[in-house]
Amino acid sequence: MASNAPVYALVDCNNFYVSCERLFNPRLEGKPVIVLSNNDGCAVARSNEAKAPGIGMGTPLFKIRDLVEQHQVQVLPSNYTLYGDLSQRVMETLGQHTDNLEVYSIDEAFLDFGSVQGDLNNQGKHIRQMVKQWTGIPVSVGISTTKTLAKLANRLAKKQAGGVLDLTDSERLEEALSCTRVEDIWNIGSRSAQFLKAHDIITALALRDSNERWIRQKLKLTGHRAVLELRGICCYPLVTKIPPKKSICVSRSFGHPITEPNELREAVATYTSRAAEKLRRQQLVTEKITVFMQTNRYREDLPQHQGSFTLPLPVATNSTLELLPIALIIVEALYRPGHEYKKAGVILSQLIPANTIQLNLFYHPPQDQDDRLMKELDTINREYGTGTLHLGATGLNPTWQMKAGKRSPRYSTCWEELPEV
Amino acid sequence: MNHGGKRTGAGRPKGTGKYGSATKAVRLPTELAAQILELLHTPSEPGNLQVTEIIRPDRCTTQELPLYESPVAGGVHSPAEEYVEGRLDLNKYLIKHPAATFFVRVSGESMTGAGIHPGDLLIVDRAVEAAHGKVVIAVINGELTVKRLHRVGDSLCLMPENSAYPVLNILESMNFEVWGVVTHSIHGV
């Protein structure tokens, strides 16, 4: 291999949320643990001990009650403050090794290994050991010549004792490709995987050696790129600068099914306020608002409705006062009496920087006034907690909110909640 | 609807102010006011001091104090200005590896001999290698504890610094791990 060929390492935290909880509560070590998402009570992280009896990723808790009881699985609500802080610590620790680092998600980062001198495997081990010691979080490291291959290597590294796998060597690569199924390849979605399997392309090796023109025809650019990346041709270089957000989504499942339009309005008003607040924090404005609402798809015995509608805004805005009436118009239009709604959400899309608003010839929102009011609102809510000051439309005593269980303390970010010895 | 006058339920409920009981406005001679206020703020039993409020500092700020080479400063153009050497940042002094540093609150009394008392704040640096003689946070059978680490030959033990507590010998069968090394203890006086 040429010495200047690109080499990527994917560092991925093992069962990240569970590892964060275990760091401050070592009693959870060796026990089956799952962490639930706050909005819909699905298992979003599982310890290996919880994966073993067959608790799948994203499974709602009510579907696994029996397994949970039988295996005495510890069920924890999520504590995103803690996970966010530990994620930053992991990324900072990785930053000690290279400036060329792409934070890919809360628990994964791609590192440029192109300039690593000496054995790649040893460097991987060194990083793994250091992250574990500094932050307490166990990670796995997959190394190869493209991001897709590094991701594939990482998946296999998780199953090895050492937690590090270097697939830059072609012989081992061949073997790894032959034991990876197409649905486990990065950027191959479940529909594409189904299509490939129907055409007898079962393994990553088969996909690599398939006819790239045919793949491009059938699976478009993403599929084509997957083939090239499996062949060691880099299509996705490292992205070290974070691109600005393209959309903001706030959605939650309700604590109980909603049939009343009033409650639905309150919920959507709350989500709209929260989304607008996020928008203002990033100094962006939105040109479009989408509202969606869903009934419980697991209750096949009840009437089903999945509704969604998008409206453009006359002038791009981040004012809750401008967004709210439009969100409520959509609620009015979508709502169907006689349905039990389980979840609703608001998506703001086509985001642009707040200082580049294009004015409308016919409509002039009271912008300065709104801006000042929103600024006060945000300041008060930052100081005294989210939701201290809110618009009447969001309701005074919402009963529809999901009751989150008691999360673990914010051990590493809050003076009042430090671990005790 | 009536306007003005007393509104029932308005204002802070009686007895929930800083004195913990109902209060009343009184006129005092100006020269006595300060003394009386001082008296009011002196706790009746010195052993009964309690934490009443914790203020959460903003982590993005730094509190720096100027360090002068010479303590003398005066005149319109301070001659000391040229001697400003930099500022003292406690964060920099106490925290060498921010990504690896955690704070832990002390609740037990097993380390009072090492100057570590209940309520103290420990600065724990996980990047520092554990070694014989270091005060460490250890995990022992699922519990976090603070003790001094001792190596005697091939065996390890956790030493308390308070004779009322026993020495803990680490056995192979125990679930033992050093969680981090304590670098500082912050003790209020």
Query: Residues B121-133: pLDDT tens digits?
Result: 999 999 999 999 9
- Which residues does chain A have with pLDDT short of 70? 1-4, 39-40, 242-244, 385-386, 402-405
Residues in chain A whose Cβ is within 8 Å of chain B? 24, 26-27, 29, 88-90, 92-93, 96, 133-136, 411-416, 418-421
Sort out which chain B residues have CB atoms less than 8 A from A414's CB and list them. 56
Q: Residue A59: which of B40, A182, A73, A370 has the closest Cα?
A: A73
Tell me the C-alpha distance between A176 and A13, whole Å.
Answer: 21
Sort out which chain B residues have CB atoms less than 8 A from A135's CB and list them. 99-100, 126
Confidence of residue B4 (pLDDT cuts 50, 70, 90): low
A179: its two tokens: 């034991």
Contact assignment for A26 to B139 by CB distance below 8 Å: yes
* pLDDT score, position B105: 94
A–B: how many Cβ contacts below 8 A? 68
Is the CB of residue B176 less than 8 Å away from at least one CB of chain A?
no
* pLDDT score, position A311: 92
Contact assignment for A418 to B104 by CB distance below 8 Å: yes
A77 CB-contact burial (10 Å; exposed 0-12 / middle 13-18 / buried 19+): middle
* pLDDT score, position A282: 86
pLDDT in tens, A334-364: 999 999 999 999 999 989 888 877 777 777 7
Range list of β-strands (E), A230-334: 247-258, 284-295, 306-317
Sort out which chain B residues have CB atoms less than 8 A from A132's CB and list them. none
* pLDDT score, position B43: 43
Any idea which residue has 């897709």 for tokens?
Answer: A148
* pLDDT score, position A377: 87
Contact assignment for A414 to B56 by CB distance below 8 Å: yes
* pLDDT score, position A399: 75
Instruction: Over range B74-89, report the average pLDDT.
Output: 65
Confidence of residue B77 (pLDDT cuts 50, 70, 90): low
- Rounded to a whole number, what is the distance in Å from the CA of A220 to chain B's nearest CA? 42
Contact assignment for A26 to B56 by CB distance below 8 Å: no
Residue B36 pLDDT exceeds 70: no
Contact assignment for B103 to A418 by CB distance below 8 Å: yes
Residue B57 pLDDT exceeds 50: no
* pLDDT score, position A104: 93
Q: Specify the higher pLDDT residue, B109 or B39.
A: B109
Q: Identify the sign of the CA torsion A184, A187, A193, A196.
A: negative
* pLDDT score, position A394: 81
- DSSP assignment of A41-99 equals -BEEEE-HHHHTTT--TT-BGGGSHHHHHHTT-EEEE--HHHHHHHHHHHHHHHTTT-S
* pLDDT score, position B76: 58
Annotated active-site residue B147? The verdict is: yes
Of B99, B105, B139, the CB nearest to A420: B105
For the entire predicted model, the pTM comes to 0.74
Contact assignment for B102 to A421 by CB distance below 8 Å: no
Of B107, B126, B142, the CB nearest to A421: B107
